[in-house]
Amino acid sequence: MRQHPTGWRKASRSSNNTACVEVGRVAGGAAVRDTKDRAAGYFTTDRRQWQAFVAAIKADRFA
């Protein structure tokens, strides 16, 4: 059974930008959805993948 994410929040750096995502908590990882189209659903990732993604953002590897 697919668990429902909790604690959705928008990235602090997104401010009033229209291209935003929200992150929610799931057991063992995170869920991500489009702020403008929440009804479209979300994807989940495990904790290791999420930590690697956040580290890559902080290291500016997507610039």
> Where in the chain are the domains?
6-58
- Confidence (pLDDT) at 12: 72
- Confidence (pLDDT) at 63: 74
Tell me, rounded to whole angstroms, the distance of Cα 10 from its chain centroid.
Answer: 8
Tens digit of each residue's pLDDT (9 = 90 or more) over 2-58: 678 999 998 776 666 667 889 999 999 999 998 888 899 999 999 999 999 999 989
- Per-residue pLDDT at 1 exceeds 70: no
Query: What's the whole-model pTM score?
Result: 0.78
